Chain A
Amino acid sequence: MTDRTNSTHPDALRRRLLQAGAGAAALGALPAGVPAAMAQAPFDWKRFKGEKIEVFLVKSPRGDLLTKYHKEFEDLTGITVGSEMVPEQQQRQKAVIEFNSGNPSFDVIALSYHVQKRQFAKNNWMSDLRPFLNDKSMTTPDLDFADFAKGGLFYAVETDGRVMSLPLNLDPWVVYWNKELFAAKNLAFPKTFAEMVDSAAKLNDPSKGVSGFVARGLKNANVPVWSSFLLGYGGSFIDANGKLLTDTPEAIEAGRMYQTLLAKSGPQGVAGFNWNESQSLFVQGKAAMWLDGIGFAQPLEDPAKSRIVGKVGYGVMPAGPKAQVSALFADGEGISAQSKKKGPAWFYLQWASNKANQTRMLQAAAGAPVRNSAYAAAQQSSDFKAPKEWVECMLKSASIAQPGLPVIAPVTEFRDVFGVALTNMINGADPAAELKKATAEFQPVLDKSEKA
């Protein structure tokens, strides 16, 4: 329930898994790009030949990519895959309705951890994967948890040790910066929050239409921007007793920083900006820094969309007074607790998260894989376009990442209530008063959700 940091937990998990022999075989030497497990004689991929499973994915470049290669899975295992892909918002609604019906139409489901993890876990909608992980005949040695980024494992594992899904994609928040604008003012990329605020003010030049800083101001979408600051101030969302920590001095300081950066160094109208408005400003060379998820390298480096190709710096989130943290979001896949095809579904999960698919994800710029080995593998490929600096930024950010939102069931309502408070701050409201009000408003909702 509490919003723990991920410093120890996944390690403990990994140790357990290693002890269990699940992730013991290191396959680092195998050439990436080939499903490594195919070469493993002892593991029988054909065990569930002739079965059929249903997978329920989110319409996204990652969903498209997996769907594109389903044939490979079918050839490998002899299992037929029926798949459905639905846009994110609708997928979340449909999942809730289907699980509530008690008889969901799918065996495998993709989930966004920051929205669905607690909801799914609280309602026991997912299967615990530990029995499979502990069974050598069911788990390919290719499933090497040592290769998985800690942040991703943190999301996949419950506090009581249950493994409810396999992570696939990470989305740590980073600072994109315009090197040309920084050079014009003789500034270096900020190392601390104080430098960040200071640089933003210096770079802000309304007469030229240049903003020192841009990020989401639109309610709901804007909460991760504030939590990026909150984590650096050493703050957290909720304590061990389920009490909100969102009106603590750290939270208020983070609110002030949000207000200063967006209202003083941000563009006009930023209160209504989502990532797309921020991106369009940044690619025009009209913003010096942009804080958002890591997945935007492709449009920034595309000459058809961007005026700043080759001038983009990929910066790790600067250090706050207490910590240097990158707010993390992630998604993965799990198996419905109601599924009657858990074995074949588990095979699908292993295939979806294998090194080949993870490398493909990176090569297609469809996301940031959770497997560390995918980065080295992708860079060897000649058609890999992402800048080296982006890869370095990704790896460093993933290593200092913490969840960017509290792991609670009513997370959408949390984002809404605190999102309104943040938007009000941009329009001049007092951060302390707004956060106090939002905390008072949300605490009963949280209490009720945990009691229910």
Chain B
Amino acid sequence: MATLSASPAPAEPGVPAAGFFRRRRRALRLMTIPALAIVAAVIVFPWLFTVYMSAFDWRIGSVAHFVGLANYVSLASNQRFLEAIGHTFYFTALAVVVPLLLGTAAALVFHREFKGRGVLRAIFTMPMMATPVAVALVWTMMFHPQQGVLNYLLTSVGLPPSLWVYSPTFVIPSLVMVEVWHWTPLVMLIVLGGLASLPTEPYESARLDGATEWQLFRHITFPLVLPFLLVAAVIRTIDAVKAFDTIYVISQGGPGTASETINLYLYLQAFAFYNIGNASAVVVVFFVIILALALLLLYVRQRAKWSA
């Protein structure tokens, strides 16, 4: 609309220009209504309805009672829910940082020219293309403490076997391992894109000035690919926070509740216990957490831009 009014078409003789554009603007405004209606129907309404439902004690099949903020109050003292928040942060932190480090390292390797680079790069990106549930099922078999291939590999090099996802202590790091295997290639692709767009001149002049490889990375490569790393971090964070399929298939939140993230807890409340009121409250709390996380990432990204 701004472009239209900034460069008006020549007015035809006999038609007052201002009236034409006013009519046109009205028409354009009308045209946004379907889109707004759809957004209202599929985003705004469900969201408001969820907030509304969170004020009720309602299980499917029974009568709903208005309870105000009682669902939130009980969540605040619900040890299992609080632990689930902790598990979500622990899982997310590991599932973002590790793929970022490994993906960047892999991108630096694949950015160099060497024989067979194309083939190796293609192989490296393959995990990303696999279906998460299929991946999770294969890893479940590999994690089996007695018959899994992972313990076979450990013992064949003289290391003691691990319990992997069958141990409350190792379950989250083991689940992160699956995420790392699955999603490091994505980070690599993003960073590789960043590296390909870098100018070569700063490197040439730095080399002439006698900079070491580390100094080249630290002072030229890293600051220049930082915006790409942040994009990768945002995508990974979103993926990790919403991770469900892998965890549900491999550990179902167990042993006990050792790997129960907010998503798993929410699924149980909503679709196993049909406890809709409580589940809605969980969704609202989860939304606030995600919003805070998104704002934090946006802030970091803006800061990186300012300092660049």
Q: Please report A residues at the B interface, Cβ cutoff 8 Å.
A: 93, 96-97, 99-100, 119, 122-123, 209, 217-220, 267-273, 277, 280-281, 284, 286, 409-410, 412-413, 416, 420, 423-424, 426-427, 448-449, 452
What's the A-B contact tally at a CB cutoff of 8 Å? 88
| Contact between chains at A272 and B273 (CB < 8 Å) | no
Does chain A have a CB within 8 A of B255? yes
Q: Please report B residues at the A interface, Cβ cutoff 8 Å.
A: 59-63, 144-147, 161, 163-168, 171, 251-257, 268, 271-275
Distance in Å: Cβ of B144 to nearest Cβ of chain A: 6
| Contact between chains at A96 and B274 (CB < 8 Å) | yes
| Contact between chains at A427 and B61 (CB < 8 Å) | no
Q: Give A424's nearest chain B residue, CB to CB.
A: B256
A123 — which chain B residues lie within 8 A by C-beta?
61
Identify 11 new A-B residue pairs, CB closer than 8 A, beyond the known A219-B253, A268-B166, A272-B166: A96-B61, A97-B60, A119-B61, A122-B61, A219-B255, A269-B164, A281-B147, A286-B146, A409-B61, A426-B255, A427-B168
B62 — which chain A residues lie within 8 A by C-beta?
449, 452
Q: Given the known A-B contacts A267-B145, A280-B144, A286-B146, are A423 and B256 also in contact in the complex, defined by CB atoms under 8 Å? A: yes
A91 vs B43: C-alpha distance when bound (angstroms): 27
In-complex Cβ contact of A420 among B144, B257, B271 (8 A): B257
14 A-B Cβ contacts within 8 A? A219-B256, A267-B145, A268-B166, A269-B146, A272-B166, A272-B167, A284-B146, A410-B273, A413-B272, A424-B256, A427-B255, A427-B256, A452-B61, A452-B63
A220 vs B268: C-alpha distance when bound (angstroms): 11
A contact face: mostly helix, strand, loop, or mixed: helix
Distance in Å: Cβ of A450 to nearest Cβ of chain B: 10
Q: Give B80's nearest chain A residue, CB to CB.
A: A420
| Contact between chains at B254 and A219 (CB < 8 Å) | yes
- What 9 A-B pairs are tightest by C-beta distance, nearest first? A269-B166, A452-B62, A272-B166, A269-B145, A271-B255, A423-B256, A269-B163, A413-B273, A412-B272
A284 vs B146: C-alpha distance when bound (angstroms): 10
Q: Give B64's nearest chain A residue, CB to CB.
A: A452
B contact face: mostly helix, strand, loop, or mixed: loop
A271 vs B258: C-alpha distance when bound (angstroms): 11
| Contact between chains at B255 and A272 (CB < 8 Å) | yes
A271 vs B256: C-alpha distance when bound (angstroms): 8
A420 — which chain B residues lie within 8 A by C-beta?
256-257
Q: Give A451's nearest chain B residue, CB to CB.
A: B62
Distance in Å: Cβ of B50 to nearest Cβ of chain A: 17
A99 vs B253: C-alpha distance when bound (angstroms): 29
A272 — which chain B residues lie within 8 A by C-beta?
165-167, 171, 251, 254-255
| Contact between chains at B271 and A218 (CB < 8 Å) | no
A93 — which chain B residues lie within 8 A by C-beta?
271
Distance in Å: Cβ of A89 to nearest Cβ of chain B: 8
Considering residues A119, A272, A449, which has the most beta carbons from chain B within 10 angstroms of its beta carbon?
A: A272
Distance in Å: Cβ of A109 to nearest Cβ of chain B: 15
Distance in Å: Cβ of B140 to nearest Cβ of chain A: 9
A424 vs B63: C-alpha distance when bound (angstroms): 34
A267 — which chain B residues lie within 8 A by C-beta?
145-146
In-complex Cβ contact of A284 among B147, B167, B273 (8 A): B147
| Contact between chains at B59 and A416 (CB < 8 Å) | no
A316 vs B168: C-alpha distance when bound (angstroms): 33
A426 vs B167: C-alpha distance when bound (angstroms): 11
Q: Give A267's nearest chain B residue, CB to CB.
A: B146
In-complex Cβ contact of A219 among B60, B146, B252 (8 A): B252
Q: Give B252's nearest chain A residue, CB to CB.
A: A218
A413 vs B278: C-alpha distance when bound (angstroms): 14
| Contact between chains at B254 and A423 (CB < 8 Å) | yes
A277 vs B255: C-alpha distance when bound (angstroms): 14
| Contact between chains at A280 and B256 (CB < 8 Å) | no
In-complex Cβ contact of A281 among B146, B165, B274 (8 A): B146
A375 vs B90: C-alpha distance when bound (angstroms): 54
A265 vs B218: C-alpha distance when bound (angstroms): 55
B275 — which chain A residues lie within 8 A by C-beta?
413
Q: Give A269's nearest chain B residue, CB to CB.
A: B166
A123 vs B254: C-alpha distance when bound (angstroms): 32
| Contact between chains at B61 and A269 (CB < 8 Å) | no
Distance in Å: Cβ of B106 to nearest Cβ of chain A: 31
A270 — which chain B residues lie within 8 A by C-beta?
166
Distance in Å: Cβ of A347 to nearest Cβ of chain B: 29
Q: Give B63's nearest chain A residue, CB to CB.
A: A452
Distance in Å: Cβ of B203 to nearest Cβ of chain A: 50
Q: Give A271's nearest chain B residue, CB to CB.
A: B255
A423 vs B147: C-alpha distance when bound (angstroms): 21
A413 vs B265: C-alpha distance when bound (angstroms): 12
